[in-house]
Amino acid sequence: NWTDCPLPRGSHTATIIGNLMYVFGGYGGSGYARRDFNDTIVLDLETWEWKTIDCKGEIPEARSGHQAVSIHENLYVIGGWNSMEQFSNVYILNTTDNVW
């Protein structure tokens, strides 16, 4: 039974690096407060605890419908869109120090 779960969302990415699942972006929320997200949330696959990562650097714009892949300790976020524009950019999160 989880507590402190992230807000509900869809069109996000969930990428596993080691024993952590990194959830980035997506669209959702509760009721009429639905929006695009640009937060990075991690689920520890051993303890089943969620935590929001306080990232530094150039944080990507809020987006959904993007793609993500892990290469070593890096999380690559590619493309996506929000209610205003479509993205073709690539952001890289170094998960060792949580810097984009």
pLDDT tens for 34-48 read 899 999 999 999 999
User: Span 68-83, mean pLDDT?
Assistant: 97
Sequence ranges of the domains in the chain: 9-94
Q: What is the pLDDT of residue 3?
A: 67
Cβ(27)–Cβ(10) below 8 Å? yes
- pLDDT category of residue 2 using cuts at 50, 70 and 90: low
User: Span 70-87, mean pLDDT?
Assistant: 97
